[in-house]
Structure 1
Amino acid sequence: MVKIFKNIAILEGISYLALFANMLLVKPTNLELYKTFLYPIGMTHGVLFIGYVASAFLITKSQKWSFGTLSIVLIASLLPLATFFVERKYVQVPVSK
């Protein structure tokens, strides 16, 4: 489950950046091409966001996160690039034998 969370964290961060970049391009250019991509990118990001939050709750016990650490992990889902930081700093993949 931890590896899944790490993958979701990375994908959620990428989708957040793609959504943000696309929104920045839609406003000044008003091109239909960018509007076409806005919905699928937004929907993908929404699904990944829900997956990130749900999987964060699921791995809280196995990662031995305190309430403060879980709060940081959840707040990171609201900030661009923060999920990359969380994935590196707070998630330890268990060593298999």
Structure 2
Amino acid sequence: MIRLFKLIATLEGISAIILFFIAMPLKYIWDNPEMIRPVGMAHGVLFTIYIIYATYLKFKLNWDWKMYIIICLASIPPLGTFYIEWKYFRTAKA
């Protein structure tokens, strides 16, 4: 369960970085909006899966509310999921 969550967190973080630092500059600086739709859609789907799976794990693994809220809020900044993965799950077994 944790291994899958770590994978989802990593993919969500990568999609955010691609969206914010590649697709959006292409659109707003170089007037090339082609990457916004597929990257934005992928990021949106991964973000939703991340939140749903975090909610599932909150109840399955009996996380306290503080940890759950921190994990969910970490999905907002582009590098937040990488930090959460390192802080909370680096020693977690698959």
Q: Same fold (TM over 0.5)?
A: yes
- Whole-Å separation in 2 of the counterparts to 1:20 and 1:60: 28
Q: RMSD over aligned Cα, in angstroms? A: 1.6
Task: Provide the secondary structure at the position in 2 that maps to 1:90.
Answer: helix
Pick from 41, 55, 58: which aligns with 1:57?
Answer: 55
Q: Aligned-pair distance for 1:62? A: 4.6
Moved over 4 A (4+): none
How does the TM-score come out when normalised to structure 1?
Answer: 0.85
- Whole-Å separation in 2 of the counterparts to 1:70 and 1:51: 15
The residue number in structure 2 matching 1:46 is 44
How does the TM-score come out when normalised to structure 2?
Answer: 0.88
Identical pairs, percent: 38
The residue number in structure 2 matching 1:94 is 93
1:9-53 Cα offsets, whole Å, 9 max, x none, are 00000000000021022111113xxx1111000000000000000
Unaligned segments of structure 1, at least 5 residues: none
